[in-house]
């Protein structure tokens, strides 16, 4: 749709520009919040760089490995695909952050709450790149929600605008997390010493729950999903696993802090 940004001799496609902007915004906001949270500059800088590069690697590796497994089962051939998946980025980045925090003996909850709140904002920006490129497109529809849009191959039809829907919900999640964070801080500032947070790490786990719910629903409207059984795709399995894991961790920590 809007594939190329031309600045003199520089030619940059919109998809790459928006994803670059998303990474930059996420890194800068995460850096600012972690520094404001009292973490040393050098520790934050190294940790963010490790997390960002691990996220990029995870985004490509998870999609590639799943595609390889599926094509090998169905056809007996091995073909490496292009593209990436945010779920892989989340797994890769989170794993690297856990490793880094453990190595430097940093409790996990607080840095994840401070840095993780920037993720849905970055996702909202990144989905605009998908909208420009036509990837992650929606299924054909005659619903009032439909828009005349292309897919990544340039096939135009009335589709669900899943990229814009995802961007809007991601932005809503970002705002909701800020509201929850501010509410918790206000409770902590009360003179009677009311408990503001159930536990450190709650904000990040809440984000994972909200993201998985959103992704599960939007996956039902997308045209590029890889089905496993019937209408169930690989992404449905990922998001259910993430939802169960995050919810179980929240409940376990709530029970632990209450006892």
Residue range 135-184, pLDDT digits in tens: 888 999 998 989 999 887 888 999 999 999 999 999 999 999 999 998 87
In a domain, 89, yes or no: no
DSSP-assigned beta bridge partners for residue 222: 138
Check residue 187 and give its pLDDT: 65
Neighbour-count burial for 80-97, b at 16+ CB within 10 Å, e otherwise: eeeebbbbbbbbbbbebb
Average of pLDDT values for 114-119? 94
Average of pLDDT values for 74-81? 60
Rounded Cα gap, residues 249 and 201, in angstroms: 10
Please count the structural domains in the chain: 1
Check residue 93 and give its pLDDT: 92
In a domain, 194, yes or no: yes
Q: Which residue has the higher pLDDT, 226 or 105?
A: 105
pLDDT at 81 > cutoff 90? no
Average of pLDDT values for 208-236? 84
In a domain, 125, yes or no: yes
Mean pLDDT (the chain) is: 85
Average of pLDDT values for 78-83? 60
In a domain, 85, yes or no: no
DSSP-assigned beta bridge partners for residue 108: none
Average of pLDDT values for 87-97? 90
Which residue from 212, 228, 222, 220 is spatially nearest to 67, judged by alpha carbons? 228
Average of pLDDT values for 173-196? 74
Check residue 186 and give its pLDDT: 67
Which residue from 210, 205, 207, 215 is spatially nearest to 249, judged by alpha carbons? 205
Average of pLDDT values for 230-238? 80
In a domain, 248, yes or no: yes
In a domain, 97, yes or no: no
Average of pLDDT values for 174-195? 74
Residue 210: CA atoms inside 13 Å, Cβ hemisphere, count? 21
Average of pLDDT values for 190-213? 80
Check residue 51 and give its pLDDT: 94
In a domain, 45, yes or no: no
The highest-confidence range among 52-66, 123-137, 221-235, by mean pLDDT, is 123-137
Strands 10-13 and 156-159: unpaired
Rounded Cα gap, residues 150 and 152, in angstroms: 7
Nearby residues of 65 by Cβ (< 8 Å), 6 or more positions away: none
Check residue 169 and give its pLDDT: 96
Average of pLDDT values for 228-249? 85
In a domain, 75, yes or no: no
Average of pLDDT values for 173-198? 74
Check residue 193 and give its pLDDT: 45
Domain span at residue 176 reads 4-39+106-258
The highest-confidence range among 10-14, 187-191, 194-198, by mean pLDDT, is 10-14
| CA quadruple 129, 132, 137, 138: dihedral sign | positive
């Amino acid at each position: 749709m809007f594939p190329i940004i031309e600045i003199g001799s520089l030619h940059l496609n919109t998809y790459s520009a928006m994803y670059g902007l998303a990474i930059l915004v996420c890194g800068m906001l995460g850096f600012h919040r972690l520094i404001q949270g009292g973490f040393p500059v050098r520790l934050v800088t190294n940790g963010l760089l490790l997390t960002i590069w691990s996220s990029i690697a995870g985004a490509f590796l998870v999609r590639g490995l799943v595609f390889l497994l599926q094509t090998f089962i169905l056809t007996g051939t091995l073909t490496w695909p292009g593209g990436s998946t945010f779920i892989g980025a989340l797994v890769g980045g989170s794993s690297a952050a856990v490793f880094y925090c453990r190595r430097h003996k940093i409790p996990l909850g607080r840095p994840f709450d401070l840095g993780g709140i920037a993720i849905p904002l970055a996702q909202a920006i990144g989905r605009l790149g998908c909208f420009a490129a036509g990837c992650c497109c929606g299924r054909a529809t005659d619903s009032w929600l439909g828009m005349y849009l292309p897919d990544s191959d340039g096939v135009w039809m009335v589709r669900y605008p899943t990229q814009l829907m995802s961007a809007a919900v991601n932005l809503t999640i970002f705002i909701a997390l800020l509201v929850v964070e501010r509410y918790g801080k206000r409770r902590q500032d009360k003179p009677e010493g009311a408990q503001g947070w159930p536990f450190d790490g709650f904000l990040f786990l809440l984000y994972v729950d909200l993201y998985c719910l959103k992704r599960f629903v939007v996956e039902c409207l997308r045209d590029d999903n890889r089905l496993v059984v019937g209408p169930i795709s690989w992404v449905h399995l990922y998001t259910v696993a993430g939802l169960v894991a995050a919810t179980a961790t929240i409940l376990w920590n709530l029970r632990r802090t209450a006892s």
